[in-house]
């Protein structure tokens, strides 16, 4: 994962969102700020949906916020464009202070810099697919002919060509979400925000849509913030994952870090059933090259997963697999190591390397 | 006790805690698919008054009254709900044609319904005071006795007081005479209307513009000739309903309606009425939409407007006709503005409801794309509210039509004048000939707007010559062609093409009266029933109410209202009843109250039984539907004479008129409620082998409770709406006073009686509609 | 897992960042708002520019050759209007509009010249004082020639059987026969529409009669009730008046109340005498009376007898002719009568 030194797309520091009467006293008061949710509610009548959250979203990455329902993740993503007004903290987009923006600058932000895809689509039922996709452009003030022409391209891009004149009510859930996606893409935003976009869809369609997102990301490299309650989905699409619980981020890291080194029991419990071999890379699992290792085994890049290494090892007749980067051998994984990863017994050694 | 509840409540009792459930704000008619939510009428519902709720969802009731919009639950009104939504509306519903005539509205209360479903557990001890019980929707069992005890002790106290202190009316010292200030205002208007700038620079322009607009429309209609108007009516219906099979059916209805108007010899009168309606509906819809916009976008405006809308609908038009005539002049202007006042509330309510109930997800999406307030309104909220607004338009049309005859009282002419002049010769046949076109116009417009509503956004627009703009052009072209043809042919309805129904109708009426009024073996006859009803029920009820000391009655009302509602509703009910005393019409109000209560009882008993029959037997419903449509839209003036002929000049006749008017809405709402009971619950009952009776009494009726509540609410509103009509057939009391105020030019008398009717509406609403209580700490 | 971050921004750029569209849309919006505001102001300004014409008729198409008459709700007055309208149209060439109105409303309309004439007025002292004496917007058009009389009536078959019922002193004797469910044990006297002048409550109280007024609420209801009683030959007592077309179908006999003396009805609460005989009068709008030319002159001349009015009224009420047809028929047969009404 290459970290660029540029300004993060989103810079979030100590962000709070508290619902309830006189919510603004909560973040500043250490006595209240640390109370568990139930106690806070009993004491003040307030609910802290987002508590003291800080993170950066880097340019070009898919940043996933994951948590169970009620963990504050949907509130968090809405705070990013102030669909929900944060209670306190700082929030920057490309270095601009979002919380300081006035109404028109904020609208400009929403119109051109960040577009959102919603769990329940939020399509206009009285408009055709094409006009729904063009809706963001209409709000920007783009003329009718131009916006329709531009929208048509995005309709095609999400695979809905031929359905331009249908109404949302005539589409399946998956198709509707493609419309939602096209609508967000059509305004050409710097960052796409996804609020549990696929949780209302059937599993098979969900998988298609996830692949669609991965493909789009690969093709365009657009920064994305992706909210989900589905760990599998998070692991599949995310470059980095922030795991939330009760409004706090309990762990922030790559999928591999989350799965390989859970920060606490909650996270561990969460990732217990994840097939580790599909997440852990050989870079993490490898051991240094030893003298007795054959130099001619199968070779894999360090970013390959353990399961890929298992396949390679199996094909190679059991010889250790070499991890090669730029022609240099970084280490090897032998069947022993691989089995250890699958069984969860070997603590990934290379944690620090990530 | 369900194992899952931990509360200590008694078995099965769950006490809703829910903070006002607000129910859903749905309009009354929701599509069937939508769950009906709220039952109570509160204010908003389209339903009439009360309940709003919905009216039923979907229901169709046509009813009348204005609905209040549900938003909040309170329904008040009703109005007929047709629901445009959902195409699936049960036939009944859609059928309604509703006209509501009166629509009344009222909503008198905005309460929120309580769903019974609250689950919460906490039980708070009820404060049981005397007389007040706290009760809410459902109460824990152990509380009920205390509550009842409280009420009973209040009652006993009242009776004892009455015996000890003697009965009596409202103390004269506690009255305020409104007549003097009102008559002064009256005089001021007379003295200043020719000179004061307010009149010269504003009000007179209004009334002149009104006249010009109506004349212009009439001029166009007259110029089109009968072929042009007929064709336009048919093509408009067809185009609005879509050029397909359903559209063709609606077009047939339109054709039949217009052709019958001509056949009955009422063509010219129909055009005049149509011209007035077009302008009145346009103004009312615009005004209603603007008010609704304000109420939909601002909670404060909404709260402030609700009582205003309620009053606009419950206050009898007779009461404000006089000031309007003084200010705007007789004829078109006064008729137009009165109609607008009466017809605008449903549009306002449903617009506000539509705006408020827009899918929050869509709105959020719009905001997330950077839409500003205006863009959100125009691109999302208003389009999403279209169906509700169309329902509002439908209701507005029906209400406006119900004012046709009243408009004739101030010289608006048209069909109303025909009805009215037929009364002077006691010619039922002629009145019927003029009343039928009103029903037909209502049916035509109802079916057309309903079909248009069902089509809205339902499917993708089809393309082709028969769709979109080209279809409008086609319709316009057809009309033009017919108009031109008409010029050749003659623009007035051919003389020979009329049929006089007056003689056969009068003969039939005489025969019926002769044979049903007295001397019918076994059952006695209508006059006998009327006398027995008056002597056995009405007189004791009225005399009892009037005999009770005023304070005992106030106490009793407070206790009843507290029993079913909150402290606030008790307070409102008591204050409203006291207001009738303060206005100086205590005795008359109690007389009217006794009639309204009796009419309500009859309406509910007959209406609920019929409604259940409709829900369970398709054929009953099929046969009753046109009857109900007619009862609702036919101007009451048409059946005044038969009612008097059958029941004599009596309060029983007045009650009959009220029952006839209120029954259709109650039947429809009940039928709809019973029919829409969750099929899963019914299926479960059936799977356990429940008999039909068990299904009805254990599942359908209990689950239809919200609809039944709505039915009560609507019943109250509708019965009150015809108190004035009752005054025309011997009801006396407040209704007579309202008419007297108008016909003698005594503004004080009419307005006072009108306000007292509004107060009675509040009292009845509060003591019949349980409210949800607010969250308890 | 794709981990590589794109190095370049591959986003296609469509158009300039602040798309032209935005600017134009904003401009358009501003323009629209400006137009709306300007439009509203223009309307206000226009309407404020001129005071509305106060005397403008509320019915369109009125010209100098148009005469507007009221049509009261009772048939006798409809007969007046129908005959006058027929003659105005066919003999004098006017266009006549008729407007149905309540009596008090008609006075107001007369005052604002929404209508030009009321042909049958039963006496509205309050309005007469206000409009004729004070505001001078209405002038008297003379007597109609018909005399109206209000009184208490019983059916002839009952009076024949009980001749003494026609004296008010004996009414109490028959109270029981007149009683209905509505009158609660007392004798019922059937009252009519709230339009009508009535002192019955005062009369009953002041004469100490065992009667109770029951308000029918409308003339139609009262007539229906009377017909129903007659059909069943039941006794009844009713407030009633002449001329009335129903009198030709139903024989009613007046009950003698204490004789009317000038002023005995001055205080409505103390009335204890019969109703007076009222010569019915015509009233014209003041401007119309002055400038109405032949039409005004004709309406002032218009006068006929109770019998003549009844003849036309019966055609309307009994034979169900339209008022126009009835007027035509009467005019054909009575040329000598109406010739005298035409202005020379």
Report the relative pairing of strands C252-255 and C138-155 from DSSP bridges.
antiparallel
Contact assignment for A165 to B460 by CB distance below 8 Å = yes
Instruction: Please tell me which of B508-517, B739-748, C45-54, C169-178 the model is most confident about, judged by mean pLDDT.
Output: C169-178
Distance CA C117, CA C138 (A): 9
How would you list the strands of the sheet with A10-19, edge to edge? Answer: A47-57, A10-19, A88-93, A96-97
Residue A1 sits at the chain C interface (C-beta within 8 Å) = yes
**Does ipTM top 0.85?**
no
Distance CA B54, CA B76 (A): 9
Contact assignment for A135 to B379 by CB distance below 8 Å = yes
Mean pLDDT over the full length of chain C: 78
CA distance A138 to chain B (A): 9
Secondary structure element (H or E) that encloses residue A114, with its range: strand A114-117
CA separation, residue B559 to residues A319, B302, B567, B759 (Å): 91, 30, 10, 17
Contact assignment for C109 to B329 by CB distance below 8 Å = yes
What pLDDT, on a 0 to 100 scale, did the predictor assign at position A311?
A: 84
Residues of A in contact with B361 (CB under 8 A): 118, 120-122
- Cβ-contact A67, A243 below 8 angstroms: yes
Neighbours of chain A (3+ CB pairs under 8 A): B, C
Same domain, C271 and C309: no
Average confidence (pLDDT) over C205-224: 85
Distance CA B403, CA B102 (A): 8
Cβ-Cβ pairs closer than 8 A, B with C, add up to 209
Q: In DSSP terms, which residues pair with A16 in a beta bridge?
A: A88
What pLDDT, on a 0 to 100 scale, did the predictor assign at position A3?
A: 44
Report the relative pairing of strands A47-57 and A10-19 from DSSP bridges.
antiparallel
Same domain, C172 and C231: yes
Average confidence (pLDDT) over C43-71: 56
Cβ-Cβ pairs closer than 8 A, A with B, add up to 83
| pLDDT-derived band at A55, boundaries 50, 70, 90 | very high
- Cβ-contact B661, B722 below 8 angstroms: yes
Same domain, C320 and C252: no
| pLDDT-derived band at B85, boundaries 50, 70, 90 | very low
Contact assignment for C108 to B739 by CB distance below 8 Å = no
**Structural domains of chain B, with CATH:** 215-503 (1.10.3720.10)
| pLDDT-derived band at C109, boundaries 50, 70, 90 | confident
Distance CA C298, CA C89 (A): 12
Residues of C in contact with B415 (CB under 8 A): none
Chain A residue with the nearest C-alpha to that of B455: A126
Residue C181 sits at the chain B interface (C-beta within 8 Å) = yes
Cβ-Cβ pairs closer than 8 A, A with C, add up to 64
Query: Closest to B375 (Cβ–Cβ): which among A103, A108, A139?
Result: A139
Query: Closest to B370 (Cβ–Cβ): which among A107, A169, A193?
Result: A107
SS3 B540: helix
Residues of C in contact with A147 (CB under 8 A): 21
What pLDDT, on a 0 to 100 scale, did the predictor assign at position A240?
A: 92
CATH number for position C209: 3.40.190.100
Residue with tokens 């035409």, as numbered in its chain: C342
Contact assignment for C218 to B728 by CB distance below 8 Å = yes
Same domain, C204 and C267: yes
Chain A residue with the nearest C-alpha to that of C4: A1
- Cβ-contact B143, B40 below 8 angstroms: no
Residue C16 sits at the chain A interface (C-beta within 8 Å) = no
Chain B residue with the nearest C-alpha to that of C245: B425
Residue C223 sits at the chain B interface (C-beta within 8 Å) = yes
Residue with tokens 């033009």, as numbered in its chain: B480
Please indicate, yes or no, if residue C11 is contained in any of the structural domains: no
Query: Closest to A136 (Cβ–Cβ): which among B369, B383, B458?
Result: B369
Average confidence (pLDDT) over C180-209: 84
Residue with tokens 């309204």, as numbered in its chain: B596
CA distance A60 to chain C (A): 5
The pLDDT of residue A65 is above 90: yes
Residues of C in contact with A221 (CB under 8 A): 5-10
Question: What digits encode the pLDDT tens for the residues B357-378?
Answer: 888 888 888 888 888 888 888 8
Question: What digits encode the pLDDT tens for the residues B428-451?
Answer: 888 888 888 888 888 888 888 888
Contact assignment for A122 to B359 by CB distance below 8 Å = yes
Q: In DSSP terms, which residues pair with A90 in a beta bridge?
A: A13
Contact assignment for B365 to A187 by CB distance below 8 Å = no
- Cβ-contact A40, A46 below 8 angstroms: yes
Residue B208 sits at the chain C interface (C-beta within 8 Å) = yes
* Exposure string over B443-454, b if 16+ CB within 10 A, otherwise e: bbbbbbbbbbbb
What pLDDT, on a 0 to 100 scale, did the predictor assign at position C210?
A: 87
| pLDDT-derived band at A194, boundaries 50, 70, 90 | very high
Please indicate, yes or no, if residue C311 is contained in any of the structural domains: yes
Residue B380 C-alpha from the chain's centroid? 30
Contact assignment for C58 to B651 by CB distance below 8 Å = no
DSSP state of A272: T
C208: left (phi over 0), alpha (psi -120 to 50) or beta: left
Distance CA B46, CA B70 (A): 6
CA distance A85 to chain B (A): 13
Query: Closest to A139 (Cβ–Cβ): which among B364, B369, B461?
Result: B369
CA distance A236 to chain C (A): 7
Same domain, C172 and C271: yes
- Cβ-contact B66, B346 below 8 angstroms: yes
* Single residue among C227, C256, C277 that ends a domain in this structure: C277
CA distance C35 to chain A (A): 19
CA distance A124 to chain B (A): 6
Residue with tokens 């705006």, as numbered in its chain: B355
How would you list the strands of the sheet with A114-117, edge to edge? Answer: A114-117, A191-195, A223-228, A62-67, A240-245, A248-253
Report the relative pairing of strands C211-215 and C187-191 from DSSP bridges.
parallel
Residue C99 sits at the chain B interface (C-beta within 8 Å) = yes
Which runs of E-coded beta strand occur in A135-210?
191-195
- Cβ-contact B45, B77 below 8 angstroms: yes
HSE-up of C222 (CA within 13 Å, CB side)? Answer: 26
CA separation, residue A186 to residues A126, A287, B472 (Å): 19, 47, 34
CATH number for position C88: 3.40.190.10
DSSP state of A53: E
SS3 A312: helix
Whether the CA torsion B292, B293, B297, B298 is positive or negative: it is negative
Contact assignment for A188 to C11 by CB distance below 8 Å = yes
Residues of B in contact with A187 (CB under 8 A): 369
DSSP state of A6: S
For residue C122, give its domain range: 66-147+278-339
Distance CA B128, CA B148 (A): 10
Output the CA angle C243-C246-C252, nearest 5 degrees. Answer: 85
Distance CA B362, CA B139 (A): 39
Residue A48 sits at the chain C interface (C-beta within 8 Å) = no
* Single residue among C257, C277, C297 that ends a domain in this structure: C277
CA distance A12 to chain C (A): 20
Query: Closest to A124 (Cβ–Cβ): which among B362, B364, B461?
Result: B362
Residues 6+ apart with CB under 8 A from C55: C112, C113, C287
Domain assignments of chain A as residue spans, ordered by start: 59-86+97-271, 276-353
Tokens of A221: 């490299």
What pLDDT, on a 0 to 100 scale, did the predictor assign at position A242?
A: 92
Residue ranges of chain B whose CB lies within 8 Å of a chain A CB = 359, 361-372, 375, 379-380, 383-384, 386, 456-461
Please indicate, yes or no, if residue C38 is contained in any of the structural domains: no
Q: In DSSP terms, which residues pair with C252 in a beta bridge?
A: C155
Residue C22 sits at the chain A interface (C-beta within 8 Å) = yes
Question: Is the peptide bond between A239 and the residue preceding it cis, with omega within 30 degrees of 0?
Answer: no
Please indicate, yes or no, if residue C47 is contained in any of the structural domains: no
Distance CA B660, CA C141 (A): 46
Contact assignment for C2 to A303 by CB distance below 8 Å = no
CA separation, residue B584 to residues A181, A184, B319, B375, B739 (Å): 68, 66, 16, 53, 17
| B33, B357, B360, B368, best to mutate vs chain A, most A CBs in 10 Å | B368
Q: Where are the alpha helices (DSSP H) in B565-635?
A: 567-582, 586-616, 618-633
- Length, in residues, of chain B: 777
Residues of C in contact with A283 (CB under 8 A): none
The pLDDT of residue B157 is above 60: yes
What pLDDT, on a 0 to 100 scale, did the predictor assign at position C26?
A: 54
- Cβ-contact B355, B75 below 8 angstroms: no
Please indicate, yes or no, if residue C120 is contained in any of the structural domains: yes
Of the two residues B124 and B685, the one the predictor is more confident about is: B685
Query: Closest to B205 (Cβ–Cβ): which among C52, C109, C126?
Result: C52
Average confidence (pLDDT) over C244-253: 84
Burial of A39 (0-12, 13-18, 19+ CB in 10 A): exposed
The pLDDT of residue A293 is above 80: no
Please indicate, yes or no, if residue C17 is contained in any of the structural domains: no
Torsion angle, CA of C188/C192/C196/C200, rounded to 10 degrees?
A: 0
* Single residue among C277, C292, C325 that ends a domain in this structure: C277
Residues of C in contact with B736 (CB under 8 A): 194, 215, 217
Residue C21 sits at the chain A interface (C-beta within 8 Å) = yes
Question: What digits encode the pLDDT tens for the residues B104-155?
Answer: 333 333 333 333 333 333 333 333 333 333 333 333 444 455 555 666 666 6
Class of domain A59-86+97-271: alpha beta
Split into its structural domains, chain C has a count of 2
Distance CA A82, CA A65 (A): 17
Average confidence (pLDDT) over B555-581: 83
Phi, psi of B730 (to 5 degrees): 110, 5
Same domain, C227 and C83: no
Report the relative pairing of strands C252-255 and A248-253 from DSSP bridges.
unpaired
Burial of B202 (0-12, 13-18, 19+ CB in 10 A): middle
Distance CA B76, CA B102 (A): 13
Tokens of B740: 């007297």
Chain B residue with the nearest C-alpha to that of C50: B201
CA distance A150 to chain C (A): 8
Distance CA B475, CA B251 (A): 12
CA distance A131 to chain B (A): 11
Output the CA angle A77-A78-A81, nearest 5 degrees. Answer: 100
What pLDDT, on a 0 to 100 scale, did the predictor assign at position C38?
A: 61
Question: What digits encode the pLDDT tens for the residues B172-190?
Answer: 667 777 777 887 887 777 7
Chain C residue with the nearest C-alpha to that of A150: C14
The pLDDT of residue C303 is above 80: yes
Contact assignment for A218 to C1 by CB distance below 8 Å = no
Distance CA A186, CA A137 (A): 7
Question: Which CATH number is A276-353's, of 3.40.50.1580, 3.40.630.40, 3.90.1280.20, 3.40.50.720?
Answer: 3.90.1280.20
């Amino acid at each position: 994962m290459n970290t660029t030194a540029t300004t993060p797309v989103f810079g979030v520091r100590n962000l709070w969102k508290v619902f309830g009467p006189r919510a603004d006293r909560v973040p500043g008061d250490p006595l209240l700020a640390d109370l568990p949710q139930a106690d806070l509610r009993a004491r003040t009548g307030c609910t802290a949906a987002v508590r003291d959250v800080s993170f950066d979203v880097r340019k070009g990455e898919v940043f996933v916020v994951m948590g169970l329902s009620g963990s504050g993740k949907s509130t968090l993503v809405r705070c990013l464009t102030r669909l929900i007004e944060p209670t306190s903290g700082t929030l920057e987009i490309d270095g601009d202070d979002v919380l300081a923006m006035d109404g028109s600058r904020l609208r400009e932000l929403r119109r051109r810099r960040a577009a959102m895809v919603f769990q329940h689509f939020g399509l206009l039922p009285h408009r055709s697919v094409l006009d729904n996709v063009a809706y963001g452009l209409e709000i920007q003030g783009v003329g009718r002919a131009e916006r329709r022409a531009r929208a048509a391209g995005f309709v095609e891009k999400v695979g809905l060509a031929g359905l331009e004149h249908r109404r949302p009510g005539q589409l399946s859930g998956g198709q509707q979400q493609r419309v939602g996606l096209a609508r967000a893409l059509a305004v050409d935003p710097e960052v796409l925000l996804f609020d549990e976009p696929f949780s209302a869809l059937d599993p098979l369609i969900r998988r298609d849509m996830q692949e669609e997102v991965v493909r789009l990301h690969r093709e365009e490299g657009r920064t994305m913030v992706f909210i989900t309650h589905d760990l599998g989905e998070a692991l599949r699409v995310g470059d980095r994952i922030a795991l939330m619980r009760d409004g706090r981020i309990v762990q922030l890291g790559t999928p591999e870090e989350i799965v390989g080194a859970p920060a606490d029991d909650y996270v561990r419990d969460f990732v217990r059933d994840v097939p580790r071999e599909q997440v852990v890379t050989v870079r993490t699992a490898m051991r240094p090259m030893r003298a007795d290792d054959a130099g001619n085994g199968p070779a894999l890049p360090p970013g390959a997963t353990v399961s890929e290494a298992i396949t390679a090892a199996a094909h190679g007749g059991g010889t250790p697999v070499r991890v090669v980067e730029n022609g240099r051998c970084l280490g090897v994984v032998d069947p022993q190591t691989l089995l250890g990863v699958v069984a969860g017994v070997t603590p990934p050694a290379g944690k620090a390397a990530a | 006790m369900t194992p899952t509840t931990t509360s200590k409540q008694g078995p099965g009792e769950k006490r809703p805690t829910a903070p006002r459930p607000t129910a859903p704000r749905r309009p009354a008619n929701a599509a069937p698919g939508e769950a009906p939510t709220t039952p109570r009428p509160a204010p908003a519902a389209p339903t009439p008054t009360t309940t709003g709720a919905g009216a039923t969802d979907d229901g169709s009731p046509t009813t009348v009254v204005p609905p209040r919009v549900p938003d909040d639950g309170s329904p008040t009104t009703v109005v007929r709900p047709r629901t445009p939504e959902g195409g699936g509306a049960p036939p009944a519903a859609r059928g309604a044609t509703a006209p509501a005539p009166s629509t009344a509205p009222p909503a008198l209360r905005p309460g929120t319904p309580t769903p019974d479903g609250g689950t919460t557990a906490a039980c708070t001890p009820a404060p049981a005071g005397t007389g007040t019980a706290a009760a809410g929707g459902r109460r824990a069992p152990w509380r009920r006795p205390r509550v009842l005890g409280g009420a009973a002790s209040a009652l006993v106290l009242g009776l004892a007081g009455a015996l000890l202190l003697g009965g009596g009316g409202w103390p004269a010292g506690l009255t305020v005479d409104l007549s003097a200030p009102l008559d002064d205002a009256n005089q001021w208007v007379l003295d200043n209307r020719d000179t004061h700038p307010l009149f010269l620079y504003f009000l007179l322009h209004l009334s002149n513009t009104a006249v010009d607009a109506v004349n212009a429309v009439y001029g166009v209609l007259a110029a089109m000739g009968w072929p042009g108007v007929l064709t336009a009516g048919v093509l408009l219906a067809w185009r609005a309903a879509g050029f397909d099979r359903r559209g063709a059916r609606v077009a047939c209805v339109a054709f039949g309606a217009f052709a019958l108007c001509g056949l009955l010899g009422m063509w010219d009168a129909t055009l005049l009425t149509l011209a007035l309606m077009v302008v009145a509906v346009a103004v009312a819809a615009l005004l209603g939409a603007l008010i609704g916009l304000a109420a939909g976008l601002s909670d404060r405006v909404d709260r402030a407007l609700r009582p205003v809308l309620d009053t606009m609908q419950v206050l009898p038009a007779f009461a404000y006709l006089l000031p309007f005539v003084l200010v705007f002049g007789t004829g078109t202007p006064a008729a137009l503005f009165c109609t607008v006042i009466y017809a605008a509330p449903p549009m306002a309510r449903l617009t506000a409801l539509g705006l408020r109930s827009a899918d929050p997800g869509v709105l959020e999406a719009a905001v997330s794309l950077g839409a500003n307030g205006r863009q959100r309104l125009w691109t999302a909220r208003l389009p999403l509210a279209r169906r509700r607004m169309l329902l509002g338009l439908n209701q507005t049309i029906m209400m406006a039509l119900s004012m046709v005859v009243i408009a004739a009282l101030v010289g608006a002419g048209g069909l109303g004048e025909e009805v009215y002049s037929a009364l002077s010769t006691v010619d039922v046949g002629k009145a019927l000939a003029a009343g039928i076109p009103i029903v037909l116009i209502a049916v035509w417009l109802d079916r057309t707007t309903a079909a248009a509503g069902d089509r809205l956004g339902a499917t993708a627009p089809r393309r082709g010559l028969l769709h979109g703009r080209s279809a409008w052009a086609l319709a316009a072209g057809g009309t033009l062609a017919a108009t031109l043809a008409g010029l050749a042919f003659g623009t007035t309805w051919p003389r020979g093409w009329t049929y006089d129904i007056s003689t056969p109708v009068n003969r039939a009426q005489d025969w019926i009266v002769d044979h049903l009024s007295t001397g019918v073996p076994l059952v006695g006859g209508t006059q006998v029933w009327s006398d027995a009803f008056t002597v056995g029920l009405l007189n004791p009820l009225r005399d009892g109410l009037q005999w009770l000391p005023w304070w005992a009655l106030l106490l009793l009302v407070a206790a009843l209202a507290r029993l079913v509602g909150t402290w606030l509703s008790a307070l409102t009910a008591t204050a409203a009843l006291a207001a009738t005393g303060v206005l100086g019409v205590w005795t008359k109000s109690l007389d009217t109250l006794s009639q309204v209560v009796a009419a309500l009882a009859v309406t509910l008993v007959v209406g609920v039984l019929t409604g259940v029959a409709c829900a369970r037997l398709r054929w009953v419903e099929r046969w009753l539907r046109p009857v109900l449509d007619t009862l609702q839209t036919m101007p009451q003036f048409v059946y005044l004479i038969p009612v008097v002929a059958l029941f004599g000049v009596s309060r029983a006749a007045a009650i009959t008129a009220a029952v006839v008017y209120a029954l259709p809405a109650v039947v429809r709402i009940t039928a709809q409620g019973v029919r829409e009971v969750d099929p899963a619950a019914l299926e479960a009952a059936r799977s356990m082998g429940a008999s039909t009776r068990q299904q009805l009494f254990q599942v359908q009726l209990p689950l239809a409770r919200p609809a039944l509540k709505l039915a009560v609410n609507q019943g109250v509103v509708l019965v009150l709406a015809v108190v004035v009509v009752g005054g025309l057939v011997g009801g006396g009391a407040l209704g007579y006073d309202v008419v007297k105020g108008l016909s003698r030019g005594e503004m004080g008398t009419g307005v006072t009686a009108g306000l007292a009717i509004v107060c009675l509406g509040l009292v009845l609403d509060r003591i019949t509609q349980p409210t949800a209580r607010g969250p308890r700490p | 897992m794709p981990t590589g971050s794109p190095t370049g921004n591959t986003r296609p750029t469509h158009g300039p960042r602040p798309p032209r569209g935005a600017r134009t849309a904003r401009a358009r919006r501003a323009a629209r708002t400006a137009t709306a505001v300007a439009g509203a102001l223009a309307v206000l300004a226009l309407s404020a520019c001129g005071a509305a014409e106060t005397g403008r008729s509320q019915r369109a198409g009125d010209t100098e050759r148009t005469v507007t008459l009221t049509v009261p709700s009772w048939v006798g007055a409809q007969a007046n209007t129908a005959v006058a309208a027929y003659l105005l149209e066919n003999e004098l060439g006017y266009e006549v509009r008729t407007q149905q109105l309540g009596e008090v409303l008609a006075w107001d309309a007369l005052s604002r010249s929404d209508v030009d004439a009321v042909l049958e007025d039963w006496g509205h002292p309050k309005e007469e004082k206000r409009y004729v004496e004070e505001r001078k917007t209405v002038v008297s058009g003379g007597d109609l020639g018909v005399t109206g009389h209000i009184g208490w009536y019983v059916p002839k078959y009952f009076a024949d059987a009980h001749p003494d019922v026609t004296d008010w002193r004996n009414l109490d004797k028959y109270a029981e026969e007149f009683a209905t469910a509505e009158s609660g044990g007392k004798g019922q006297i059937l009252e009519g529409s709230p339009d009508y002048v009535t002192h019955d409550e005062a009369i009953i109280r002041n004469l100490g009669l065992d009667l109770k007024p029951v308000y029918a609420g409308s003339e139609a209801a009262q007539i229906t009730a009377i017909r129903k009683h007659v059909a069943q030959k039941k006794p009844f007592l009713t407030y009633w008046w002449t001329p009335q077309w129903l009198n030709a179908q139903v024989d009613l006999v007046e009950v003698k109340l204490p004789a009317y003396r000038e002023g005995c009805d001055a205080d409505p609460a103390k009335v204890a005498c019969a109703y007076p005989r009222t010569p019915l009068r015509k009233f014209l709008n003041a401007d119309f009376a002055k400038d109405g030319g032949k039409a005004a002159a004709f309406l002032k001349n218009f006068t006929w007898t109770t019998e003549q009015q009844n003849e036309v009224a019966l055609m309307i009420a009994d034979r169900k002719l339209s008022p126009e047809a009835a007027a035509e028929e009467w005019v054909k047969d009575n040329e000598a009568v109406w010739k005298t009404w035409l202005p020379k």
